[in-house]
Amino acid sequence: MSQIQQKLPVNGNGDLKWLELVAQNVKSLRFGVVEIIVHDARVIQIEKTERVRLDKTEPT
């Protein structure tokens, strides 16, 4: 399992940039979670946790 945190710039220029970052993170996942951290009604951080699932195999 790997976890990546992205801290967003605090300036007001990239208000919808977070939406693009969320979309990119979701598209890059096969199994996992994308979490959006909000402070004072603004997205300040995006966390991605990716899980690697192993195929279930029957014991021989």
Distances (CA, A) of 23 to 9, 54, 56, 58: 17, 25, 30, 36
pLDDT score of 26 more than 70? yes
Q: What tokens does 11 get?
A: 């300036």
At residue 23, φ and ψ (nearest 5 deg) are -60, -45
Query: What is the predicted pLDDT for the residue at 20?
Result: 92
pLDDT score of 12 more than 80? no
Percent of the chain with pLDDT over 70: 70
Q: Is residue 5 within 8 Å of residue 45, measured between CB atoms?
A: yes
Please tell me the pTM assigned to this model. 0.63
Distances (CA, A) of 46 to 32, 39, 56, 59, 60: 13, 12, 31, 40, 43
Percent of the chain with pLDDT over 90: 52
